[in-house]
Chains A and B, each alone.
Chain A
Amino acid sequence: MTLEVKNLQCIRGDRELFTDLSFQLEESQLMMLEGQNGSGKTTLLRSLCGLYLQDQGEILWNGISIKKQDEDYRRELLYLGHLNGIKADLTVLENLRFNATLAGKIPSTDKLMQALDTIGLYAFEDFPTSQLSQGQKRRVALARLLISKAKLWILDEPFVALDIAAVELLQSIIANHVDNGGMVILTTHQEVPLTSGKIKRLSLSEEQDNLPSSAK
């Protein structure tokens, strides 16, 4: 399985975020996306998910444009953005079960409880999410990674709001996914040590030409 990006260009307002961007990602590869604030990291991730329509270029999954694959592509995809995507009025378990069902799997309660245990929310399953701390809420969102069958993980700043233990846990979850032939794209300043597989780096540093003339 491959994700291939060809000559991608995204324009936000009258600003060209990036242009002529090409790369390829294979199984067991992890890509770190670097760049300052406003360099278009989030926009790139969102266009890889199909949430943002690029101005030019193509995004191919197994050689076919993701626009044509639609639901088939989204089945292979897991996206974790800045927002946790959990409902404050639901309990931890309800949130996790809902998210898993949406992804197309109806998981057993055992499996969900096990995931919560791994992510460090043991015995929290009946807590309303609104009563959790920021870090715990993030863990609820991250628990999706453990029950997901998706091949391609797209993670936008996944380490934000996590304590040291959780950072290490997430690092091992990501490394494990890459071990098992998964693909990961993430933006972070945190290094992810891998036991196998390959790390790629893509830098979206702005060149002078890309700056809008008013900002020069």
Chain B
Amino acid sequence: MMSAFWVLLKRDLLLALRRRSEIFTVLFFFLIVISLFPLGVGSEDATLKKIAPGVVWIAALLASTLALDRLFANDYLDGTLEQLTLAPQSLSVMVFAKMIAHWLLTGLPLVLIAPLVGLFYHLPSNTIGVMMLVLLLGTPVLSMIGAIAAALTLGLRGGGVLVSLLVLPLYIPVLVYGAGAISASMVEGLSIQPYLLLLSAFMLLALIFSPWATAAALKISLE
């Protein structure tokens, strides 16, 4: 069972490596959205600090939604997804491998680019640290919730827009506490621990339920 997990994870990373441009499109989308806000809202120091937490997270939500399209679509079109569901392995485990690969390719780059966002928005260094931490906790949840929607909309016309419609409302808890933690870190004397605990709880719940629900959704979509 574990060999299927690793071999699939390795395959997805290898495939992404052969099409490097796709990793960068998501990353640059994120950066472009981030840099649009100061142009639209104004670039005073106080404004930037105030909007930064929300902007980072909304950009992350949009970027992660954008990337969902690719999670299963290619495998669906060339028939490898069909073969995955027929392999004598647990589909949930394989789906989990694909989620991790997807996060490594689309979520992790956002975490790593966060210091640059901090520079753009004049954030203090401890806030940048908090931002990286909450992105690290929150973006996997986005990938895992998104995977369910991506599986449900597999192969549909206008799937991309539909995925956003389904998934963005479900991202709200991550947005609220992810952005809340960054804001709190800029206020003297506020603890960010409760935020981190809540985000970790979301991650745990997503870890338990999402692979299972995504596998069920894939089976429905492949019928």
Contact = CB atoms under 8 A, between A and B. Distances in A.
Interface of A: 46, 49-53, 71-72, 74-75, 77, 79, 81-90, 94, 98-99, 101-104, 106
Contact of A71 (B15, B18, B79, B89): B89
B7 A86 contact: no
B11 A74 contact: no
Interface residues of B, number: 25
6 contacts: A51-B82, A51-B223, A71-B90, A89-B15, A90-B15, A102-B84
Given A52-B223, A84-B79, A99-B83, A89 B19 contact: yes
A93 to B, nearest CB: 13
Contacts, number: 73
Interface in B76-99: 77-80, 82-90
B82 A85 contact: yes
Nearest to A73: B88
A90 B7 CA distance: 13
A88 B4 CA distance: 20
Contacts of A53: 223
Contacts of B14: 90, 94
Given A51-B222, A71-B88, A86-B78, A102 B83 contact: yes
B3 interface: yes
B7 A83 contact: no
B89 A104 contact: yes
Contact of B79 (A49, A74, A83, A98): A83
B131 to A, nearest CB: 34
B18 to A, nearest CB: 5
B19, B74, B78: most-surrounded residue (chain A CB, <10 A): B78
Closest 3 A-B residue pairs measured CB to CB? Answer: A83-B79, A75-B88, A85-B79
Interface of B: 3-4, 7-8, 11, 14-15, 18-19, 74, 77-80, 82-90, 222-223
A187 B171 CA distance: 46
Contacts of B77: 83
A139 to B, nearest CB: 15
B4 A79 contact: no
Chain B interface main SS type: helix
A87 B80 contact: yes
A113 B222 CA distance: 32
Contacts of A79: 82-83, 86
Contacts of B80: 85-87
B7 A88 contact: no
A67 B191 CA distance: 51
Given A87-B80, A104-B88, A98 B3 contact: no
Contacts of B82: 51, 79, 81, 83, 85
Contact of B87 (A89, A102, A106): A102
Given A52-B223, A83-B79, A101 B7 contact: yes
B73 to A, nearest CB: 13
Contacts of B11: 87, 90, 94, 98
A106 B86 contact: no
A99 B86 CA distance: 11
A17 to B, nearest CB: 13
Contacts of A90: 11, 14-15
Contacts of B88: 71-72, 74-75, 103-104
B153 to A, nearest CB: 19
Contacts of B222: 51
Contacts of B3: 101, 106
Nearest to A46: B223
B78 A102 contact: no
Given A53-B223, A89-B19, A74 B7 contact: no
A88 B77 CA distance: 11
